[in-house]
Amino acid sequence: MKLYIITGMSGAGKSLVMRTLEDMGYFCIDNIPPSLIPKFAQLGEGTRSIENVAVTVDIRGAGLLSGLFPAMAELDEIKIPYEIIFLEAKDAVLQKRYQETRRQHPLESGGLKLGEAIIKERKVLEDIKNRANYIIDSSDLLPKQLKQELTTLLFEGKDYEQIIISIVSFGFKYGTPLDCDIVFDVRFIPNPYYNTSMRRLTGKNEIVLNYVLKQKETMDFLEKSIDLLECIIPGYIREGKNQLVIGIGCTGGRHRSVAIAEKMSEIMLGNNHRVITRHRDISNDAKG
C-alpha cells in the first residue's frame, strides 16, 4: 500500500492535491485525527480495494504536533511506508488568497489577525515541514501547474530537487517584481521593437524568438547566467530555500525578456530542475 500524508499551510493547495490524488484512484480522507492514521493504514493493507491512500492533517485538527509524530512513529514500528507532502506558499500570497475568497483562516477564530494567524501557523508546522519528503511551494503555481508538479514528483520517477525555479519576464517600465531573488537586465540585447514587422508580436513568437536568440550577446548571456545559476542553486537548497525567483527584464516585457525567459526555462528543465515560467507584462501594449 502507498500512503501519503498531506499537510502544510492553510490556503497553500492541500485540497487541490487531495482532489488530484482522488482522480488518480487514491482513497482520500480529509483532516483525519493523526492517531487514526496507523489504524486506517493497517485496515487498508488488509483490503484489496484500498491500495493507495492519502490523508490530510492540518492546523484544523486538534493536537496536530502532539498527534502526528507519535502516529508516524507507530507507522515506522508496524513497517507501513509513508511519505509526507508539505504545501507551502509565501505569506503575502496566502493573505491575498484568503482576502479574495473571503474565507477565515482557521487560527483567526482565536482572535488573531490574518497576518498573525499565518505567522503562528508557519511556526507550528516548522517541525513537520522539516520531516517532509516533498515540499511544494504553490506561490506562483496555477492549479493546472500544481497538478503537473504533483504528477512529476510522484508518478514520473524523476529525481526530486527541493526547490522550484520560477523564471519571470517583466518590463522595467512597469516596475521590478518585488518577489525576485535575482534580476537580470537584458536591455543590452538588440530590441525587436524597432523592427516594425515584430513590434506587435511577443517573444513567444518564433520570429521574435529566433531574432533574439541569434544575437551573440544573447547566447553569451545565457551561457554565463546558466553557469552562475548552476553554481548557486545547490547553496540555496542547502539553506532550505523552497523557491528561487529569477527576474528577466527588458524595457516593456514583451520581446527580449520573454524570449530569453523561454530559452532559459528550456535549458534549466533540460538540466533536470523544477521550473515554472511566467510572463508578467507580455499582454501590455507594445510601446517599447
Pick the CATH number of 2-155 from 3.40.50.720, 3.40.50.300, 3.30.990.10, 3.30.70.100: 3.40.50.300
Pairing outcome for strands 164-171 and 134-137: unpaired
Query: Terminal CA-to-CA distance of the chain, rounded, Å?
Result: 57
Banded pLDDT at 62 (limits 50, 70, 90)? low
pLDDT of residue 13: 92
Q: What is the pLDDT of residues 76-111, one digit of tens each?
A: 999 999 999 999 999 999 999 998 888 888 888 777
Mean pLDDT of 53-69: 77
What cell was used for 161? 530537487
Q: In what order do the strands lie in the sheet with 27-29?
A: 27-29, 52-56, 2-8, 83-88, 134-137
Tell whether the model's pLDDT for residue 175 goes beyond 90: yes
**Alpha carbon 100 to chain centroid distance?**
20
By the 8 A CB rule, do 2 and 52 touch?
A: yes
pLDDT of residue 152: 78
Task: Share the mean pLDDT of the chain.
Answer: 88
pTM of the full predicted structure? Answer: 0.68
Residue 46: how many other CB atoms lie within 10 Å:
8
Q: Which residues is 246 bridged to in the sheet?
A: 167, 182
Residue 48 pLDDT class (50, 70, 90 cuts): low
Q: Give the helix, strand, coil percentages of the chain, each rounded to 5.
A: 45, 20, 35
CA distance to 1, 51, 71, per residue, from 47 (Å): 10, 8, 21
Domain-by-domain residue ranges, the chain?
2-155, 164-279
| Pick from 152-161, 167-176, 219-228: least confident | 152-161
Q: Which residue has the higher pLDDT, 147 or 176?
A: 176
Q: Report pLDDT for 288.
A: 44
- pLDDT at 151 exceeding the cut of 60: yes
Q: How far apart are CA 110 and CA 237, in angstroms?
A: 35
